Amino acid sequence: MTLANRVVAPAGIRIRVLVVDDSVVIRRLVTQALSEDPEIEVVGVAANGRIALDRIPQLNPDVITLDIEMPEMDGLQTLRRLRAEYPKVRAIMFSTLTERGAAVTLEALSLGASDYVAKPANVGSLDVSVKRLRDELLPKIKQFFIRPAAAARPPQRAAAPSPAGFRPAARERRVVVIGCSTGGPNALSMIFPALPAALPVPIVLVQHMPPLFTRLLAERLEAQSKIQVREAQGGEELQAGVALVAPGDHHIVLQRKGARVVTALNQEPPENSCRPAADVLFRSVAEIYGGDAVAVVLTGMGQDGLRGIELLKSQGAHVIAQDEASSVVWGMPGFVARAGLADEVTPIEQVAQRILRVLPKA
């Protein structure tokens, strides 16, 4: 049974995981980290993609953790086969924090991988490596499943999708800000190509990703788009038709310098376990633009962005949340929608159109 993109996991039934990696050490580390959780069952391991695909019919996993670099059949080849033959099995990629690792991970996400985690860079300390894997991998596996008690909870105040005749309140919107996490790169890839080159406002976005990944994401979006897309360096003046992506491991905020609005980066503590965090950006947007903003919250785990949206909404900003059915994880937009803060709850295919409807005409 599916609740949008989340599967209802009955009480007492564990989430079945197949670990796929050519490294014996990594297979043991992942197995140990996952086996300590009573909701997870590691049903098998495989040294490459070909072995994994052969074992899926017998092991019936819900999730596979998939290494990228493997002999005989690598992670991308395996992922293509997995999506074609076992489309309901979730794939979480194991990536290295390198230029190639980031590029291949973004390719994997575009091919249908559900999420990714970084491989331990140093497996010398077993306890440290197991703890890091447990802290990072367990939430990424569990985000796709929901227990019956949570599934049965009545919804809170949810904003309904806007009717066809919807007309936003007249107000000059001077900036678009976006926050997203799990599933965000693909969601952004559906929005940015639909934006015109003469976009009349700037865009600033937070996607939860580490360094390197955010630069490559910006390059990927630029290649798909008519507007300019760059990773923010700090100190840039916001310009119409230019989108700036917060760099990994840095918060991004907006500051006023005379008549100009510029970016600033910092490494203050994470918020909502995130750096960059959408809440940090949204608060600064409220200070600079008040309600003259369009705030978009896309697919992602957790509730980053909720507090910032509360502030923006109180000042009259127009808020768009991605709907549940098109979200990989309806966490970030779900919290906004259930709190009644979204002016529109919209399928990802319509988000670009909805943004353009509330912007000044170029």
Tens digit of each residue's pLDDT (9 = 90 or more) over 238-247: 999 999 999 9
Total structural domains in the chain?
2
**Mean predicted lDDT score pLDDT of the chain:** 90
**Three-class secondary structure of residue 362 per DSSP:** coil
Please check whether residues 200 and 245 belong to one and the same domain.
Answer: yes
Q: Which residues form the catalytic set?
A: 181, 208, 304
pLDDT number for residue 1: 31
Please check whether residues 22 and 130 belong to one and the same domain.
Answer: yes
Average pLDDT, integer, range 263-271: 98
Tens digit of each residue's pLDDT (9 = 90 or more) over 286-327: 999 999 999 999 999 999 999 999 999 999 999 999 999 999
Angle at 225 between CA 301 and CA 284, to 5 degrees: 50
pLDDT number for residue 102: 92
Q: What 3 state SS string does 55-98 have?
A: HHHHHCCCEEEEECCCCCCCHHHHHHHHHHHCCCCEEEEEECCC
pLDDT number for residue 321: 98
Average pLDDT, integer, range 214-234: 97
Return the CATH number at 140. Answer: 3.40.50.2300
216 vs 119 pLDDT, higher one: 216
Please check whether residues 280 and 347 belong to one and the same domain.
Answer: yes
Which domain range does residue 68 map to? 2-150
**pLDDT for residue 187 is more than 80:** yes
**pLDDT for residue 4 is more than 90:** no
pLDDT number for residue 152: 45
Please check whether residues 142 and 289 belong to one and the same domain.
Answer: no
pTM of the predicted model as reported, rounded to 2 decimal places: 0.89
Tens digit of each residue's pLDDT (9 = 90 or more) over 133-170: 889 999 999 988 875 654 444 444 444 444 444 445 56
Please check whether residues 329 and 185 belong to one and the same domain.
Answer: yes
Return the CATH number at 339. Answer: 3.40.50.180
Q: Is residue 163 part of a domain?
A: no
Please check whether residues 185 and 120 belong to one and the same domain.
Answer: no
Strand partners for 189: none
Please check whether residues 111 and 194 belong to one and the same domain.
Answer: no
Q: Is residue 164 part of a domain?
A: no
Please check whether residues 89 and 27 belong to one and the same domain.
Answer: yes
Please check whether residues 22 and 102 belong to one and the same domain.
Answer: yes
